Structure 1
Amino acid sequence: MSGPDAQPTPPAARSAPALAGALVVLLLSVALAAVLLRIPPPPGMRPVAQPCSQLLAWKAAFQSLDGAVTPTVRGWRFAARGAVQAVSCTPGRLVLDGSGRAAQGQEPRLEVLINGRPVRTLELLQRRVQAVDIPEAGRIELLFLNSFYASEVRYAQISDLRMDNDECRFPSDVTVQAGAGDAWSAPARILTVMSRHAAQVSICRPGTLSLTVQGTRAGQALPVLRFMQGGQVLSTVTAPEAPQTLRIPVTRGPVTLQLLNPFARELASRELTLHGLQFTPRP
């Protein structure tokens, strides 16, 4: 009906068919999705179940110092406190072939943990094979915590190095042989020598080098130090157990300092070695 007297169609009446159509489309989409979810994926897209491996991947988990835990051909060597760990996907039986060295009347002990809980403590001295039941899957840890080491080392400390001039009052260019046990601390200006390798101190201009020297006795003798420059011996001193100040005339150039009678010996070492590790899973 049209014309001036025709009544307009209400908005709700005009939108009702559109809403009904949208609802039908939504219901059809939901039904289609439900059907597709019930269809299994192609074989190439299905997840593959990973089998539980009998070979555990052991790795170092903690070591108190560099080189404390090192791998061997079939196991691990613990020279100081440290731990190794592996993850198992089933319970099982762990067989350990181990031995150790006692110190101060105490044998080395190996703690076996599963998921952070103690399972067993093994004492390892004479080489033998021991088995430990692992009651559940998870993280297996082998901890060696009662390590001990003692040694006797003859060494000298040289501190408070200084020149009697303002241009290079505090020598900072000091070099030592890497890996020999000698050390130079620039912030503290302390030089420690325990090997036969010569340390070197750079001198920027002639003057008097003063330093404080102190020795540690070992093998019933104190350290003997020799200072040289340009092929000439400047001074040879026995480092006393109480600090003593030395003053040595020097010229420009490097001064070498050498310990003439190094001495070191091991007194005791509590350590252990795992010669082999074998894990058998239990379903």
Structure 2
Amino acid sequence: MAAMTRVTRWLALSVLPLLTIAGLTTLSPGRAPEVQVASSARCSQPPVFTLGYQRGQDYVIPRGNGFLFRSDAWIEAQLCRGGTLSVTAQGELAGTELPQLTMVLNNEVIAAPRFDRERTVQVKVPAAGRLLLGYFNDYYEADVRVATLRGFKLRGADCQGFTSITVPREAGGTWSAQTLYATLVRAVPMTVVPCGHGTLSVILVGRPGNGAYPEVTVSQGDRTLAHVRTSAQPQPLSVDVQAEPLTITVTNPYFKTIGDRNLLVSGLTFSPDGNR
């Protein structure tokens, strides 16, 4: 039986670079690396938390009076003075860790609590300034069948190549025109438009999910040109095609989430210190 393929959120789903935020991951209080991201210099009371950075679309989502962190992201606010921040949050265990909320004041980590069941923590914020609340220990694991296609070529009597190749987002995969490399996850076809009639050549490789490799069908109009059961070994495929669009589809998709660590911050209350 084929081994299970486990993938990260980056592979399963289709910056401030991680080089910048890596130092904020799984931290204890101490010096944090400087983060060069523009933010408003005006403070407010009560402070207003807004999106500071997210590594991908909808990685942090406003939810009620707080925020749902789905992957690496932070929110931030400008504080007029020091005080006490009350945070109500709950998390989901995945892998071996609970989600962690890293709190950074003016590039200094002041707290990094972890959450499972809903609870409220109070953190002393010693001074005014820029306060970041970040989630950086994301974990995502899934068992997924993935079909990889590379080295697309078309040899024809009148032309060479393709008018277009498209992998829709709904297919759960990717397409690189620079490397001629595609991945497919769901049973949504990619579309290949040859420049004319000729012979299409491509190399297929599979990654197993639930003990089985993906199966791929190549069709043009109402005709099935090829049906391939992929494996870990590259398999060359050549088919004669006409001058019309053809589709390539995974016919036995499999996708199961094994672990997904998220953090829901449901309440943020800041009590400033008295006038000095």
TM-score, normalised by the number of residues in structure 2: 0.79
What does 1:1-283 align with in structure 2 at a 5 Å threshold?
53-165=44-156, 167-283=158-274
Structure 1 consecutive aligned stretches of length 4 or more whose deviation exceeds 6 Å: none
- For the pair shown, which has the larger CA radius of gyration, 1 or 2? 1
Cα shift readout 1:99-127 (whole Å, capped 9, x = no counterpart): 10122221111122222222222111111
Contact 2:141 2:260 in 1 (8 A): yes
Code of the residue aligned with 1:111 in structure 2: it is T
Separation in structure 2 between the aligned mates of residue 150 and residue 98 of structure 1, nearest angstrom: 23
Separation in structure 2 between the aligned mates of residue 157 and residue 185 of structure 1, nearest angstrom: 12
| Percent identity for Structure 1 against Structure 2 | 28
Q: CA deviation at 1:172?
A: 4.9
Structure with more relative contact order (C-alpha pairs < 8 Å, separation 6 or more): 2
Code of the residue aligned with 1:178 in structure 2: it is R
Separation in structure 1 between the aligned mates of residue 117 and residue 149 of structure 2, nearest angstrom: 44
Q: CA deviation at 1:98?
A: 0.2
Partner SS, residue 234 of structure 1: strand
Match of 2:24 in 1: none
Code of the residue aligned with 1:270 in structure 2: it is R
Separation in structure 2 between the aligned mates of residue 185 and residue 131 of structure 1, nearest angstrom: 47
Instruction: List gaps (5 residues or longer) in structure 2.
Output: 1-42
Code of the residue aligned with 2:189 in structure 1: it is A
Q: CA deviation at 1:87?
A: 1.0
Code of the residue aligned with 2:232 in structure 1: it is E
Separation in structure 2 between the aligned mates of residue 278 and residue 59 of structure 1, nearest angstrom: 14
* Larger helix fraction of residues: 1
TM-score, normalised by the number of residues in structure 1: 0.77
Code of the residue aligned with 1:55 in structure 2: it is P
Instruction: List gaps (5 residues or longer) in structure 1.
Output: 1-51
Number of residue pairs the alignment of both structures matches: 232
Q: CA deviation at 1:95?
A: 0.8
Separation in structure 2 between the aligned mates of residue 81 and residue 184 of structure 1, nearest angstrom: 24
Separation in structure 1 between the aligned mates of residue 221 and residue 105 of structure 2, nearest angstrom: 64
